[in-house]
Amino acid sequence: MSAQILHSTLRRVLIVAATVAPITLAAAGATARAEAGVAPFDGSLQRLAEILGALHYLRNICGANEGQKWRNEMQSLVDAEAPSGERRARMIASFNRGFRGYQQSYRTCTPAAELVIRRYLEEGSKIAREMTARYAN
């Protein structure tokens, strides 16, 4: 599957997941957990944030010319989820960890970097689809 198709799929699923997540929390009666700083899907959101951070860095060095696209995707996810306090800090830290981890390892695009991009596009799409399927019902 091409990077463009995977990105398009990831974007659609991210929008659905970000829209459904707050509604699902309330409907599932998980508000108490959310107030305590933990939602049942926080691990998945944090992994997705880390992937977005890595893509933000790697796609840039591999010449995708997307500017702030992946950072903006992350911002959209944060805005839709509207976490506060510690949850927000964890999401942002995950994005930064993904970005910095690859920034320390890659200065130029390599075949390995391109492979990571493809795998992360696939993994991100999978996470977003699974979150939507699990929490949208």
Length of the chain, in residues: 137
> Cα–Cα distance between 101 and 99 in angstroms, integer?
6
| pTM summary value | 0.76
Q: Model confidence over 66-99: pLDDT tens digits? A: 999 999 999 998 998 887 888 889 999 999 999 9
Q: Is the dihedral of CA 18, 21, 26, 32 positive or negative?
A: negative
135/137: higher pLDDT: 135
Domain ranges of the chain: 3-135
Per-residue pLDDT, 136: 77
> Cα–Cα distance between 63 and 50 in angstroms, integer?
20
The DSSP string of 73-137 is HHHHHHHHH---HHHHHHHHHHHHHHHHHHHHH-SS--HHHHHHHHHHHHHHHHHHHHHHHHH--
To the nearest whole number, what is the mean pLDDT of the chain? 81
Q: Model confidence over 18-70: pLDDT tens digits? A: 554 554 444 444 444 444 567 788 899 999 999 999 999 999 999 999 999 99
Per-residue pLDDT, 135: 81
Place of tokens 């320390």: 104
CA of residue 85 relative to chain centroid, distance: 19
126/3: higher pLDDT: 126
Per-residue pLDDT, 84: 83
